[in-house]
A and B are shown apart, each in its own frame.
Chain A
């Protein structure tokens, strides 16, 4: 559809298990923010809601809050709580 943004989404660890896939492409209207994308993902992958209160989001390689404006072609990663070390 003309005028929509294509956002590539990556899932990791528990998030990948819940989504049932490692990545997805979401179409979003221009002006959408991270929070809008998450709501769309929770509708498409209902099991992902398990991580609703604990996940963090990266756009590219940096953490971003819910009000961060997305741009066409952004790569967004859905990150369960980190556990390194």
Chain B
């Protein structure tokens, strides 16, 4: 399984990521997820979310999640980009691509990957008021 992970302070250029999509003759499904910063948090308007990571551990834990994806589904490629630092409302904080032979495994693996990231990866967020 191909793996790519980026933790970045810069905006996630989704078009650029998409342009580097790598498929094979066996690819039948590419599933995408964009996690976007909502403009409200608990009913209050916010300007941004500040993401903080224990970066070395975050990379290690995401690799462990990738391994578990690979063990469970015949996924060909996983690419993940996660923003750190200040991310404005409406901006993408998390971008995920899962490429697999069939849609069932691509959807399942993508859902699993995101759920496990939220559970296992040491990243925290703080809402920033206007």
Chain A interfacial positions (CB closer than 8 Å to B): 10, 12-14, 58, 61-63, 77, 79-80, 82-85
Contact = CB atoms under 8 A, between A and B. Distances in A.
Contacts of A79: 54, 122
A77 B58 CA distance: 12
Contacts of A12: 52, 54, 122, 124
Interface in B47-104: 51-54, 56-58, 60-61, 82, 93-94
Contacts of A80: 124
B124 A85 contact: no
Contacts, number: 53
Interface of B: 35, 51-54, 56-58, 60-61, 82, 93-94, 114, 117-126
Contacts of B119: 82
A10 B121 CA distance: 16
